[in-house]
Every structure is written in C-alpha cells, then in structure tokens.
Amino acid sequence: MTKTQQVRLAKRPSGKIDADTWSLTTEELPAITAGQILVKIDYISLDPAMRGWLNDVRSYVPPVGIGEVMRSLDIATVVESTHPDFAVGDTVSGTFGVTEYAISDGRNVQRVDLGVAAGPTWLSTLGMPGMTAYFGLLEVGKLRAGDTVVVSAAAGAVGSVAGQIAKAKGATVIGIAGGEEKCRVLTEELGFDAAIDYRNEDVLRRLREVAPDGIDVYFDNVGGDILDAALANLRRGARVVICGAISAYNADKLPPGPSRYMSLLVFRASMTGFVVFDYADRYGEAISQMSEWLAGGRIKSMEHIVEGGIPRFAETLDMLFTGANTGKLVLAL
Amino acid sequence: MTKTQQVRLAKRPSGKIDADTWSLTTEELPAITAGQILVKIDYISLDPAMRGWLNDVRSYVPPVGIGEVMRSLDIATVVESTHPDFAVGDTVSGTFGVTEYAISDGRNVQRVDLGVAAGPTWLSTLGMPGMTAYFGLLEVGKLRAGDTVVVSAAAGAVGSVAGQIAKAKGATVIGIAGGEEKCRVLTEELGFDAAIDYRNEDVLRRLREVAPDGIDVYFDNVGGDILDAALANLRRGARVVICGAISAYNADKLPPGPSRYMSLLVFRASMTGFVVFDYADRYGEAISQMSEWLAGGRIKSMEHIVEGGIPRFAETLDMLFTGANTGKLVLAL
C-alpha cells in the first residue's frame, strides 16, 4: 500500500480562489491490478485553465467535482507496472492530478524521452503550452513570414513560446508583459523585437509606436484592456487568436468584453477561439519541429520551478494570477 | 441654373443626433460642363452606417465634413447629360447625397434597370443591404445547407434579406426583431422558421428553445446583449458575422463589448468583420442571383418608404434608431 498526499477541491470558489477552496488529504492507494501502473509524480503543471475547471459550467472539459483530486498534468516516474507498454523507471506524462502517487490504466499516458528534454520542458515547450502556441499561431493565426505579431502574457508559458515560434518563422514580434524584468527577458534572452510593460506603459500608445503599420496576428492570453488596445491597432485582414483571458478568470461575474470589437469590421479582421486538444493527432509533428528548434537554439524553454511539493500547490497556483512567474510555472515534488 | 434643397452636416453629434446636427440649405447648382450629368433624386437610402460617417474617426470611409452635404446613396433620374454613358431619362444609382438635384461626372454611378425591379428595390435587395446580406452570409459566414442561422435586426434592410437568402440556401432561420408585428412579418411573410421578439422575450432562453443544438451562423447587426445571447448559444465551429452594431451607434462613448466573447474558445468559433465594398467586383454575380430569387418569389423585397422629401430627412433617419421601420427605410422625393 502506498500512502499519498493530495489536494482536493473542497468548495467551488466564487471569484478568487481562497483557503476554503482546497483540502489537503492523505490516503492509501490500493495495490495495482492487471494492466495498471503506479506512478510517482515528479513535476506538476500549473495552468490558468485550472481556474476554469473549478467552475460548474459547460466548457471544453467537465469541471472538477467537489471532493475530487484536483486535475493537473504531471510528469511522473513509473514505480510499479503490470501494463505491457510501461516499465518501472519510465518517465511518463499524464493527467494524474495534484497528488504524490497515482494509479493509472495507461490511457492518455505518454512516455517522454528525457534525452530530448528534461521533465519540466515536457510540461512547457514540448507540452500543452508549446502545443497551444504552435497550433494557435500557425493554424488559427495563419502566421506568415513578415507578419507583425503581438503576444500578450508574453513572458508566460504559452506566450514565451508563441513569440519565439513567430520569430523562427520570420515575423516581427512584440511581447506585452508585466514589469521591466520580464520585458528585459523577452528582448534580451528570447529575441523579441520589442516589449511593452503594461504595468508602467500606455499599451495603446506604445503599440502605435512599435507597430506603426498595425498588427497582423494578435495572440491573446489576457483579455481586458490589453485586448482592446490590440483591437484598436490591427492591420487590414488581421487575425486575433483567443487563447485565454487570465484577466477575467478570477472575476465572480463576467467582466465586460472587448469594447473595440467593431474594429473587426473596420479592419476586416477575425477573432477566433480554439482548444489545443483538437490538434491532438498532430502533436507529434509539433514536438518534432519544436525539438529541432530547441536543439538548434532557435527556441529557449523557460520554466519557473517551485520546490516544496503538494503542500505548496495553492500558493504556487496563485502566482499565475499575480503574474509572479516568468515562463512555465511548475511545482516540483 | 437649378435650385436644390439639401441637408448639410452642421455639427458633429456627441451621442444622439439632434436638432443642431443638421442644417437645411438651398443653393443654385451651376450649369453642367462637358462629361457631366445633372440628376434629380427620386429616392434616398437611410442607413445605420450614416451615424458612423458623422464621427471624426478613422474608419472604412472618411467622415462627412462639417458644412458638407450629407452623404447618401440615392436612386435618381438623369435630367441633363453631356456624358457619353448616360442619357436624359436614365435611372441611376450613386452617392449623390441628401439633396434634390446633384451634378456628377459619372464616376461610381450605375444605370439601374427598372424592368428588373422598382427604384427602391435597387436601394434594398439589389443595393447595398442586399449585397451586404449576400456576401456577409455566404462568404464571411460560409453558410452551408442545413445550418442553423440566427439573424438580428431581422426585420431591417439587411437582416430581412439575409434571413431569406439563408432559407433559399437550405438553412433553418431564426430572426430576432423588436415587436410582435415584425416577428409576424418574419414568420408569416418572409418564411423564417422562428422569430424572437427581443422587446418582450428573453432572447437567451428563447434561443435555447428554438436552436437547441446551437447556432452555426450568427449574422449580427446589433451588438449589445443580443450578441452576448447568441455567443452563449453557439454550436462548435460557429461563424459570427459582424455586420453592424446599431445598439452602440448613438452612444457617446464605447459601450462594453460582448462579455461572452470567450465562447469563441469553448465553441472553437470565429467572429469576423467585413465591409461590403471589398466585394464590389462581385456585385454583378449577387445582383444576378438575387434578381432570379426575386423573380421566382424566393425572396420578397421589403421597403419602408417615407414620403415628404428633403425636409423629412432628419426625422426619417431617426426611425432607424428607434426601430420604427420594417424593411429598407427609404425617403421618397
């Protein structure tokens, strides 16, 4: 029997996640049966989407139930196996949840190759954020060489990859991020052409300065005023990719939408939402291309790793909403 | 010399158009010179876009200048001509403005065939509203047979045609309009499958009832709460066509945008704006198809004709914003 500590959803938050949202529990896992694996979690992915999974509303995945282990993507090591596809010692990724150990029947579990990249990178550039950036920019945003691309939350998990993919594809790339240090990382370390610090600069005016001919692709992770500033500065035929809206996730009622959405008409532009899971059958293609870019130094994978394991889950998740992380936020066990 | 009465822009309105916005003037037109025509206006088109032309902002056409004759599309009769393409007695359409007579060099003036349809129909189904409905629905909205289509301002100039085109193409069509009588016209006279009276019904709830599987194409002329209600009830892969936002045109500052725009993500949907002028080289194709539908009774052209000429321009235009018209609003001279 294996003892495991877990975070469970105790109460659905209305607005901000608080101390009542979670309960920290410990349970004994049963012995595995035929065709199962027991995994020990190494890294837990912290994602803005987690906030959405707590709401009891219709969405692209069902909400986490009250009393259930909080859903999360993890990198784990197989410690026991009666499953033909997995051996003890394999490193795998899967939706095991916020827990130390988990039992799985192997469905939706993939082996990951630590020879290609370290565990946390399989949660970032080679994981969901990377897939989201890749298909959002190239398929939904229909990026073309020479485009002017603007990315919000550009120092975040998805944004930092999206901007670098755009550069690799020959675009001019402007990142919007909060704070001087994040902006410095974008231009000095990740190769962005310009960065706008939304905490200290007028985004609308700065966009006009750095993208005087307008924006071809706006990759939005934040919503709110920044989305409006981008809408006001599109180029004809622009594509606005709706990837997320972190500015709204903790609101207890829906905030107003983009008041400048009629710019879509003026600029003959489109605004399109997507869910990365729809591209699941093409992840292999993306991982192959991104691995090549990583190996060649065209893309740098940025992870922000917090040590301390399960008990630090709640405070680590909160960092996403205060913007305390640079790059992909990961909890190490 | 020809004396003509005109409506000129006296003062840009902030918010609602009022008595100070317009001045009624009379002037003498000079004799025409070589290559010109003198036209007598028969019908003036009243369009929601007129409100936008009064704002001093960047848009798809320049604003009307202070002191200039108000811009409008008209149907007119050629009364003098030294232009090789136009003879006295020809009926023409052109942007002659809100005036009794006008001189033109013939640029952007088209002859219209009263044998195909009466003058007002060339301002509605066979004019800009018809072109807008046709290209907005078929090109921007990518309508397919079997789609569930929802049209707002469905008893208006564009909406009434859009709904009928959708029916002709094999869609299920739901119209949203203000008042019982307009709703009756939609279902009993224009063949809509259902109508929702936004003044007396809960649009969100009624959409769930009449389109239980969601909306494939939403053709929006109004913005505001009705756009939000549609966004909440999309089907996967839906196309939202942004044609107009009459609910916002008289606001003195930008109202909030669609708070439910994140539905685009949940439903993998797109919201796309367009300007009908971009399809100018294909108007012939649309007119040919629409004429055939008109002749075969598949589409009925609805015009709301107000008599009284130039002095009644201001009060007639106001009818668009109070929703007093059913079908295309036209001022007869």
Q: Measured between CA atoms, how close is B5 to chain A, in angstroms?
A: 33
What are A144-159's pLDDT values in tens digits? 999 999 999 999 999 9
| Cβ contact B308:B329 at 8 Å | no
- Does A265 contact B271 at a Cβ distance shorter than 8 Å? no
A–B interface: beta-carbon pairs under 8 A:
98
Among the partner-chain residues A58, A259, A273, the one whose CB lies closest to the CB of B256 is A259
Q: Measured between CA atoms, how close is A283 to chain B, in angstroms?
A: 18
- Does A257 contact B254 at a Cβ distance shorter than 8 Å? no
Question: What contacts A106, CB < 8 A, 6 or more positions away?
Answer: A35, A36, A37, A83, A85, A86
- Does B273 contact A270 at a Cβ distance shorter than 8 Å? yes
What are B110-166's pLDDT values in tens digits? 999 999 999 999 999 999 999 999 999 999 999 999 999 999 999 999 999 999 999
Average pLDDT value over all residues in chain B: 95
Query: What number is the average pLDDT over the span A77-101?
Result: 98
pTM, two decimal places: 0.91
Residues of A in contact with B59 (CB under 8 A): 266
Nearest residue to A63 via CA among A77, A51, A76, A75 = A51
The pLDDT value given to residue B33: 96
> For B255, which residue in chain A has the nearest alpha carbon?
A259
CA distances from A150 to A135, A218, A292 (A): 16, 5, 24
> For B264, which residue in chain A has the nearest alpha carbon?
A273
- Does A242 contact B256 at a Cβ distance shorter than 8 Å? no
Rounded distance between C-alpha atoms, residue A226 and residue B127, angstroms: 38
The pLDDT value given to residue A244: 83
State which amino acid sits at residue A29.
Answer: L
| Cβ contact A95:A56 at 8 Å | no
What are A8-30's pLDDT values in tens digits? 999 999 889 998 999 999 999 99
- Does A272 contact B258 at a Cβ distance shorter than 8 Å? no
Mutate to test the interface with B, among A220, A271, A275 (most CBs of B within 10 A): A271
Residues of A in contact with B248 (CB under 8 A): 262
Nearest residue to A66 via CA among A115, A11, A107 = A11
Task: Characterize B263-285 residue by residue with b for buried, 16 or more Cβ atoms within 10 angstroms of its Cβ, and e for exposed.
Answer: bbbbbbbbbbbbbbeebeeebee
Query: What number is the average pLDDT over the span A136-146?
Result: 98
Q: How confident is the model at residue B248 (pLDDT cuts 50, 70, 90)?
A: confident
**B283-291, Cβ contacts within 8 angstroms, sequence gap of 24 or more:** B283/B131, B286/B130, B286/B131, B286/B134, B286/B135, B287/B126, B287/B130, B289/B134, B290/B125, B290/B126, B290/B130, B290/B134, B290/B161, B291/B116, B291/B117, B291/B126
What are B203-230's pLDDT values in tens digits? 999 999 999 999 999 999 999 999 999 9
- Does B266 contact A273 at a Cβ distance shorter than 8 Å? yes
| Cβ contact A210:A174 at 8 Å | yes
Among the partner-chain residues B242, B256, B264, the one whose CB lies closest to the CB of A272 is B264
What are B276-295's pLDDT values in tens digits? 999 999 999 999 999 999 99
- Does A271 contact B259 at a Cβ distance shorter than 8 Å? no
Find residue A101's DSSP bridge partners. Answer: A40
The pLDDT value given to residue B60: 73
Residues of B with CB under 8 A from a CB of A: 58-60, 223, 228, 242-245, 248, 254-275, 278
Residues of A with CB under 8 A from a CB of B: 58-60, 223, 228, 242-245, 248, 254-275, 278
Count Cβ atoms within 10 A of the Cβ of residue B42 and give its class: 0-12 exposed, 13-18 middle, 19 or more buried: middle
- Does B273 contact A258 at a Cβ distance shorter than 8 Å? no
State which amino acid sits at residue A220.
Answer: D
The pLDDT value given to residue B191: 97
State which amino acid sits at residue A298.
Answer: R
The pLDDT value given to residue B323: 87
| Cβ contact B86:B52 at 8 Å | no
| Higher-pLDDT residue of A81, B253 | A81
- pLDDT exceeds 80 at position B59: no
Query: What number is the average pLDDT over the span B287-311?
Result: 96
Q: Measured between CA atoms, how close is B255 to chain A, in angstroms?
A: 6
Q: Measured between CA atoms, how close is B140 to chain A, in angstroms?
A: 10
> For A251, which residue in chain B has the nearest alpha carbon?
B259
- Does B255 contact A259 at a Cβ distance shorter than 8 Å? yes
The first and second tokens of residue A240, run together, are 């606005």
What are A220-274's pLDDT values in tens digits? 999 999 999 999 999 999 999 999 877 777 677 778 899 999 999 999 999 999 9
Nearest residue to A193 via CA among A152, A156, A163, A232 = A163
Rounded distance between C-alpha atoms, residue A37 and residue A60, angstroms: 27
The pLDDT value given to residue B167: 98
Rounded to two decimals, the ipTM of the complex is 0.88
Query: What number is the average pLDDT over the span A85-112?
Result: 97
Helix B203-210, helix B224-231: angle, nearest 10:
40
The pLDDT value given to residue B256: 85
Nearest residue to A197 via CA among A172, A174, A180 = A180
Percent of chain B at pLDDT > 90 equals 89
